[in-house]
Structures are given as C-alpha cells and as structure tokens.
C-alpha cells in the first residue's frame, strides 16, 4: 500500500502584507515626528532669532603670586573682570550652579574659581568680577620660563570658563546646556606690584548638552 502524502494547506497571503503595512506605518510615524521636530526648530529660529552670547576679559588684578622653594608650589590669587554680552532681543540667559574658571600658564594651573549665579536679561551687558585662588605645583623650570616671560613683557595665560546655562523665552526655561570658553591672553606682567595689561587676546567657545 503506497504512502499517503501529507495534506498541504494554502499559505496565509495576508501575513506578508500585514508586516509591510506595519513597517510602513512605523516609517510614517517616525517621519511625522521628525517633521514636527524640524518645524519646531524652524519656528524657534524664525521667531526668536537666537544669537550666541560673547565673552571677553577686560582686565586682571593680581594680589598674590608667591613661589615656595621648599615644596615647589606657587600660590596665586587674582581677580579677572569678564564681560558677558547677551545680544538677543527676547532671550534671557540663566547662569546656573556648577561653573568653573581656571587660569593656567603653559598648561600648569595657577588658580581657579567660579562664576556667580544670576539671570542676564535680553540686550544686556554684565561685567563679572571673578575671584580665583590656588596653590599648585610649579617646578623650577616653569619658574625660570615665567621669569623670562616677565622680563620680555609677554606672559602667555590661558583662561578656561565652563558654565551651565539655560535660555529663557516666554517664561519658559530650556534644558541645561554647558558653555565652554577658552581665552588665550598675553599680558605684560603677572606681578602683584604692577597691574597687568592685556596685550592680546583670542577667544574660542563651544556648547555641550548636559
């Protein structure tokens, strides 16, 4: 007696069609979300016309600059006047906790401090007096290089500022972002006996998500 072949059932032709429809629906949904985000960003830029704030170092005052030969450390205390300009017509800037400022010489930290927390209104210029202080290792080679820079009247300093901020518009606060600024200065002296004169300055900045 011959073997009976197993019965075959017709495949569900709608199964493949259902998967395609589901995939198409997901793609359409993602496209609508993307379109909505693009529209929101375009509306924000068209309505508020945001502009990046600018920062510059106006002057510095050094009150302590003492080298200790016993442990090769340098104690530095100074105040830097930083000018912050918000050029926006309707956007305010809230400077939050968690800022940090650092002054360094040839890659070696001299002192550090913090920015004040405050809200800067639109079309506003604020000058911040930032007090910085620190005792850090400072080898004899760096001391010799600094003395030579003092004699030449060209002392290179780097000031780094990192501050979390929020944008304020229509009584709403944006998510926190971090603004980073690097100021490369050349001053004629960093001695407490003489008020430093800023001979040149270049600035670079970027923004990071927090």
Q: Tell me how far apart the alpha carbons of residues 45 and 170 are, in angstroms, rounded to a whole number.
A: 14
For the whole prediction, is pTM greater than 0.75? yes
Between 52 and 105, the more confident residue is 105
The confidence band for 135, taking pLDDT boundaries of 50, 70 and 90, is very high
Q: Tell me how far apart the alpha carbons of residues 183 and 59 are, in angstroms, rounded to a whole number.
A: 12
Tracing tokens 């650092």 back to the chain, one arrives at 102
Query: Is the confidence at residue 2, as pLDDT, over 70?
Result: no
- Could you report the per-residue pLDDT of 153-185, keeping only the tens digit for each? 999 999 999 999 999 988 788 899 999 999 999
Which stretch of DSSP H or E encloses residue 27? helix 13-48
Q: Tell me how far apart the alpha carbons of residues 73 and 67 are, in angstroms, rounded to a whole number.
A: 6
Kindly tell me the burial class for residue 26, based on how many C-beta atoms sit within 10 Å of its own C-beta (0-12, 13-18, 19 or more).
exposed
- Could you report the per-residue pLDDT of 71-123, keeping only the tens digit for each? 999 999 999 999 999 999 999 999 999 999 999 999 999 999 999 999 999 99
């Amino acid at each position: 007696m011959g073997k009976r072949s197993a019965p075959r059932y017709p495949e569900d032709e709608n199964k493949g069609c259902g998967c395609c429809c589901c995939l198409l629906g997901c793609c359409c949904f993602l496209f609508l979300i993307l379109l909505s985000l693009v529209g929101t960003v375009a509306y924000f830029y068209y309505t508020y016309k945001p502009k990046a704030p600018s920062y510059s170092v106006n002057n510095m005052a050094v009150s302590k600059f003492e080298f200790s030969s016993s442990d090769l450390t340098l104690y530095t205390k100074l105040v830097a006047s930083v000018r912050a300009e918000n050029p926006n017509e309707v956007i305010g800037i809230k400077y939050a906790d968690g800022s940090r400022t650092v002054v360094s010489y040839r890659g070696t930290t001299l002192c550090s401090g913090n920015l004040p927390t405050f809200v800067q209104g639109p079309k506003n210029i604020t000058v911040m007096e930032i007090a910085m202080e620190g005792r850090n290792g400072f080898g004899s080679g760096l001391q010799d290089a600094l003395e030579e820079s003092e004699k030449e009247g060209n002392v290179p300093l780097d000031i780094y500022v990192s501050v979390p901020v929020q944008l304020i518009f229509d009584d709403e606060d944006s998510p926190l972002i971090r603004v980073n600024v690097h100021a490369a200065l050349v001053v004629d002296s960093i001695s407490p006996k003489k008020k430093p004169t800023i001979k040149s300055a270049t600035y670079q900045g970027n923004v990071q998500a927090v």
